[in-house]
Amino acid sequence: MNDHGNGKDSQEVRAFAPATIANLGAGFDVLGLALEQPGDIVIAGRHSDGPPGITLEIRGDGGRLPLEPEQNTAGVAAMHLLRRFDSGASIHLKLIKGIPMAGGLGSSAGSAVAAAVAVNALFGARLRKEELVEACVAAEGVVSGFHADNVAAALLGGIIMVEEGGRQVRRLPVPGKLVCALAMPAVHLPTAVARKVLPREYPLHDVVTQTSNLAMLMSALYENDVERFAAGMVDVVAEPARSRLIPGFDAAKRAALDAGALGFIISGAGPSVCAICNRMRVARRAAEAMREAFIKAGVACSGLVARPSEQGAHVIEPGSKKSEEARWDRSPLATPPPPDHFGYSSR
């Protein structure tokens, strides 16, 4: 089955949704980027003899996520679509978590998006990807507020810009040489906590600086200029407050830049951080340097190198390499964190 389905209802569909980096530094709550890996998978099955509604099972969450559909982003997104397609249908969702939770990589968005794409395909792909944003934003509202940056990036792929308070989403060009090096320190930092530390007011100078940086970032995308893109990502609004919540942040930033990275940002609300690079070998060196810096600061850490995902969320065929688990690149820098990496207990 392709990304748009075959126009006919199916009995079981599998969908993959990628991790995302929200904000991209200067684009607070406005920009988002999809990564090729890691990602969440949802297997949606339709049962003719089951009770109406959604049932849910989860793998890879360490027992932390709720199984009640109305409290889980995958369940909420699915229910939103079910009300539109067939409220009497019986749907079972199997969510396979590959995106670390509370890590700043769009975990809740990934679950919602994978579920929305799977359920939409289950009913013959009646809606375009852009039409799934509403259901996914509603799902995000259950856990982290009504923000479209992560869900739109995961759905559409590439780099996206949120307009009109989330009512419109636009795809932006992706620099051809862009490679992201990520470090995922073992710090439990929910989005709600990261938002509470932000100041209520900012000096005019900071507002002007942030606006200038965002303008540079945007123009660099259309010029295919990774260096200026990285230079424009400097964040003077959220990073000064949020960096204090991430032990080892300053050391990791220095290590990444010393390793040749062009820029350095907090991924979403954190605690994951991202070094912007223009070569894969530089990205691998930066990822290892950041990981070692966090470890020296007394914080366990995993590393990952990934390119942007132009495809975004999509239906996957059974038997493909993504069909059974949300796979990671098995290089030494891409070892997935253990279930309790971000402070979660095992089931």
Residues labelled catalytic: 140, 191
Diameter of the chain by CA atoms?
A: 63
**What is the per-residue DSSP string for 11-54?**
SEEEEEEEEEEESTTT-TTTEEEEEEEEEEEEEEEE-TTSPSEE
Q: Are 229 and 221 in contact (CB under 8 A)?
A: yes
Q: Cα(first)–Cα(last) distance of the chain, in Å?
A: 34
Q: Are 115 and 109 in contact (CB under 8 A)?
A: no
How far does CA 20 lie from the centroid of its chain? 3
Which SS3 state, helix, strand or coil, does residue 337 take? coil
Residues constituting the chain:
347
Residue 188 forms beta bridges with which residues? Answer: none
Q: Is the dihedral of CA 171, 159, 139, 29 positive or negative?
A: negative
CA–CA dist 273, 344 (Å, integer): 20
Alpha-carbon separation of residue 94 from 114, 218, 340 (angstroms): 10, 38, 21
**Cis previous bond, 38, omega within 30:** yes
The structure tokens listed for 235 are 């964040």
Alpha-carbon separation of residue 187 from 1, 63, 243 (angstroms): 39, 18, 12
